[in-house]
Structure 1
Amino acid sequence: MWLLLLVLLGLILLYRYYRQSQILGNLSDKYVFITGCDTGFGRQLAKQLDRRGMKVLAACFTEPGAEELKKETSSRLQTVILDVADSQSVTAAAKWVASIVTDKGLWGLVNNAGILIPLCPNEWLKKDEFRKILDVNLLGTVDITINLLPLIRKSKGRIVNVSSIAGRLAICGGGYCMSKFGVEAFSDSIRRELRRFGVKVSIIAPDFFKTAILNSTQLKENVTNTWKKVPQNIKNDYGEHYCQNYCKFIDAMCSRGSTKFTIVTDCMEHALTAVYPWTRYSAGLHAKFFYMPLSYLPTCVADYILGS
């Protein structure tokens, strides 16, 4: 009986591996638009897909970022300057993409651009500080996606949204977790809406990686600067030790960061090139074996573990 179950499990895993290893043909004919290509995952993915021969349209926030990326890639890769929080910039970038892909449509959209600051206890922040991060991480993703949807529907392509483990568990204060929970909800809803058009939507949920946003010095500096502006009555309630402990929490979080960006970009690449992409990719050991399983446990258990 046990032997039969083991054989059946082995066959299921073998079929699963075979199914997920099937890759699309004619990748060199496909256009992929990636946001946030100055550094980190976006930059790594742009170079990775360029090496595979795909036609990469890389959106950078700065001119220097765009110039450096072009030096490291082939002439196929094209860049555009984009501020995802600015609707006029988004509209201009969408028109630029349409002028390049023409009737072929856009095969892939990777919503990767994001920020982490401000990362602070919620009570220390003002409404505008929440809005800043939501404008980039969530509303920027929504704006880009809606503007490019006609081109993606035309090619029956792929949308890849970068969420986070913080999109399943609220591990810190500030707008970051809220923005990533929102990305999860947007991805789920639009995946169901677009299924009838043959468009597939995947969510990438990384854990800790040493990208530009996971900079402990900048994050702690933001915490201490915010603490200085907090009203005295709130400072009295929290105490100086709370600010110090929060900075220690940031140090601990950043110390877990991996420099192996390909763990994440390989997931993105699979979502774009596989015949049967996953709906969700948990990128990193912390994501796979701690945070994602923890998100399925009773809330009281998650609260106790994260609180300690």
Structure 2
Amino acid sequence: MGSTDDLTTYLLEVIHSHLLVTCALLLATAAAVLRHVRDSREVDGLHRRHVLVTGCDSGFGNLLARRLDAKGFHVVAACLTRRGAAALSAAASRRLKTLVMDVTDSASIRAALEFVSREVGERGLWGLVNNAGRSVPIGPTEWMKLEDFTQVLDVNLIGVIEVTLQFLPLLKKAQGRVVNVASILGRLSLPGGGYCLSKWGVEAFSDGLRRDMRHFGIKVSIIEPGFFKTDVTRLDLIEADLKRLWTRLPQDVKDSYGKTYLDDYVEAQAFSMGVLCSPDLSKVTRCMEHALTARFPRTRYAAGWDAKFFWIPLSYLPSFVSDFATNLFLPIPKYQRHF
């Protein structure tokens, strides 16, 4: 009799566990379907909406401007150079407008605001994509001077803030969208210099802006790309700037790193870029497009396999783990103190 009761109990436990697993799978499937349905809902009237994109000479901004143009948006593409503006105009429809804007120059931003105000009229500006940015100089913190930090921060952070503040009245009219391009390096710092600082700042600025502007119908999204092949990751530019930084170092500082450290650092950068950098920029621009066209845009978009499955998960781990992992990508100075 006891053995029959034990068998019955065992069978009931097996059935119960199978029911729990089945229910969990059904709930996960339902959640995935609901998220897909929610993500797929788009705003209407794209052909009546205006979007300003900064940093359109090349890379993400250039591709995004052309893709939004093909979707029917009225795109205003801000380029740093006249050559970049002319090339983009030749590759897009007549609907796309270009202008030259330096995000570190307040007068240039005000001139762009006047131009965009005339274009959008009373409809206001539907989307602002703060994409303009720079990466160099990067390298060991000790190699930097204050101006090396400020020239990156002026573009990547202060430029984002000033452009956003100037265009907020037009965005409020349209109850539009702000899309700020940060980076996985806004979650996890790797090289020294102003780049990581600026991207952490973009994350913080965007979070505060999102909470403040939700009362006015403005939605704010953050794009967090991993490593992609753009001018920001061009090895020749990075190598040239690292050599510039190394050349001006005092001899005692050079000696502390060792004669081969610069070459080892450049080699490490080349290896990292070669392994990690994806040539498919559309992985990033698709996130930007969704943030502009979806009825329910996401707060954050991780773009690239390395962002989703390595860098962002790594950023949640204890510091000693992330320190160990990131140090694998960098050479070791010749003279190091051991604690």
TM-score (ref. length: structure 2): 0.90
Any idea what the Cα deviations from partners look like across 1:45-94, whole Å, max 9, x if unmatched? 00000000000000000111001101110000001100111111111111
> Does 2:223 match 1:217?
no
Quote the offset at 1:301 in angstroms.
Answer: 0.9
Alignment match, 2:88 = 69
Quote the offset at 1:272 in angstroms.
Answer: 0.2
Instruction: Give the whole-Å Cα distance in 2 for the aligned partners of 1:212 and 1:159.
Output: 23
Alignment match, 2:305 = 285
Alignment match, 2:8 = none
> Does 2:149 match 1:107?
no
For 1:263, the aligned partner's letter is: K
Which protein has the larger Cα radius of gyration, Structure 1 or Structure 2? 2
Runs of 5+ consecutive residues of structure 1 not aligned to the other structure? none
Instruction: Give the whole-Å Cα distance in 2 for the aligned partners of 1:239 and 1:140.
Output: 37
Corresponding residue pairs, total: 308
Any idea what the Cα deviations from partners look like across 1:126-175, whole Å, max 9, x if unmatched? 10111100000000000100000000011110000000011100011111
Instruction: Give the whole-Å Cα distance in 2 for the aligned partners of 1:156 and 1:258.
Output: 34
Instruction: Give the whole-Å Cα distance in 1 for the aligned partners of 2:250 and 2:280.
Output: 41
Alignment match, 1:175 = 194
Instruction: Give the whole-Å Cα distance in 2 for the aligned partners of 1:23 and 1:87.
Output: 35
Any idea what the Cα deviations from partners look like across 1:274-294, whole Å, max 9, x if unmatched? 000000000000000000111
Alignment match, 1:125 = 144
Instruction: Give the whole-Å Cα distance in 2 for the aligned partners of 1:249 and 1:94.
Output: 42
> Does 2:263 match 1:244?
yes
CA contact (8 A) 1:208 1:253 kept: no
Instruction: Give the whole-Å Cα distance in 1 for the aligned partners of 2:267 and 2:222.
Output: 30
SS for the counterpart of 2:42 is coil
Quote the offset at 1:249 in angstroms.
Answer: 2.1
Runs of 5+ consecutive residues of structure 2 not aligned to the other structure? 1-19, 329-339
> Does 2:316 match 1:296?
yes
Instruction: Give the whole-Å Cα distance in 1 for the aligned partners of 2:272 and 2:131.
Output: 21
Q: Identity of counterpart residues, as a percentage?
A: 46
For 1:90, the aligned partner's letter is: I
Quote the offset at 1:98 in angstroms.
Answer: 1.0
Alignment match, 1:85 = 104
Q: Say which of 273, 278, 282 aligns to 1:254.
A: 273
Instruction: Give the whole-Å Cα distance in 1 for the aligned partners of 2:326 and 2:273.
Output: 16
SS for the counterpart of 2:220 is strand
Quote the offset at 1:235 in angstroms.
Answer: 1.0
TM-score (ref. length: structure 1): 0.98
Any idea what the Cα deviations from partners look like across 1:218-275, whole Å, max 9, x if unmatched? 1111101210101112112122222222112210232121111110000000000000
SS for the counterpart of 1:170 is coil
Instruction: Give the whole-Å Cα distance in 1 for the aligned partners of 2:277 and 2:21.
Output: 41
SS for the counterpart of 1:230 is coil
Query: Root-mean-square deviation (CA), in Å?
Result: 0.8
Alignment match, 1:4 = 23
Q: Say which of 220, 225, 247 aligns to 1:206.
A: 225
SS for the counterpart of 1:37 is coil
Instruction: Give the whole-Å Cα distance in 2 for the aligned partners of 1:263 and 1:34.
Output: 17
Quote the offset at 1:20 in angstroms.
Answer: 0.6
Instruction: Give the whole-Å Cα distance in 2 for the aligned partners of 1:161 and 1:143.
Output: 13
SS for the counterpart of 1:51 is helix
